[in-house]
Structure formats: C-alpha cells, structure tokens
Amino acid sequence: MTYEELMQKAIEVSEKAYCPYSKFPVGACVMTDDGAIYTGCNFENSSFGMTICAERNAIGSAIAEGKRKIKAVAIFSPVQDNCAPCGACRQVIHEFCDNDNDVDIILQNGNDLKIFTLAQLLPESFNL
C-alpha cells in the first residue's frame, strides 16, 4: 500500500472522530511489518485525561490482532496541517518497532505528504 493510500484511510477515519470538546478530529492509519493496515480515530471524554489519540487507537487494534511491529503511521486532521503525534503516541509507536529509523510517520501539508522517521520525532528514545 502506498503512503498516499495510507493517508487516504487516515482522512476517511478522521471523519468518525468523537471530539465534542476540542473540535480537533484526528485519524490515523498504521501499517505493520507484514503490510496489514489498521485505522483509528481520536475519541474524547469529559474527563480529559481519558481521551484516546487516533494513533494509539489504531495501534491498539493492531495489537488486538497479534501484530507487534509498526512500519508506518499516517496521521491526519482536517483542522491542522502536519498533525504530528503527541509525545505519548511517539513513545507508544517506539514500543512497537525494531528501530526508530525504520518507522515512517506520514503527515499531510495541504496536498503534499511530509515524511519523518520516528527517530527524527523522538530523538534519544529509551527502552527498559
């Protein structure tokens, strides 16, 4: 699947986001090392700390199917170009990859895609 196709899936799932408080819908599409695709959108709660980001929602779906290695994540919000993952999501992505340089984070800026490695977005990451 191309990165454009991953982004299209992120765009589509962003329309299903539940964000009555922030009005900030986000969609994510995760591709695992075997090419499987999982999507997720953010969903909020009036207890803001219980809000789940789109990226972690998609990764959770992959985990539920037994997947453990992420190769790429496309992230989209209709209200912000280059909608990058938050710090918590960056760390979760890191948890499910072999090498931060081998995971691409795909963002959309207008009609163009911007691609970063996880290593660029999460320098000096750590493992236990």
Distance CA 53, CA 86 (A): 8
The partner residues of 28 in beta bridges, in order of sequence, read 40, 75
* Residue in the structure block whose two tokens are 């938050």: 86
Q: Is 65 a catalytic residue?
A: no
4, 5, 12, 55: the active-site residue: 55
Cβ(84)–Cβ(53) below 8 Å: no
Element (H, E) at 104: strand 104-109
Q: How many CB atoms lie within 10 A of CB 69?
A: 13
Would you please indicate which residues are annotated as catalytic (active-site) residues? 55
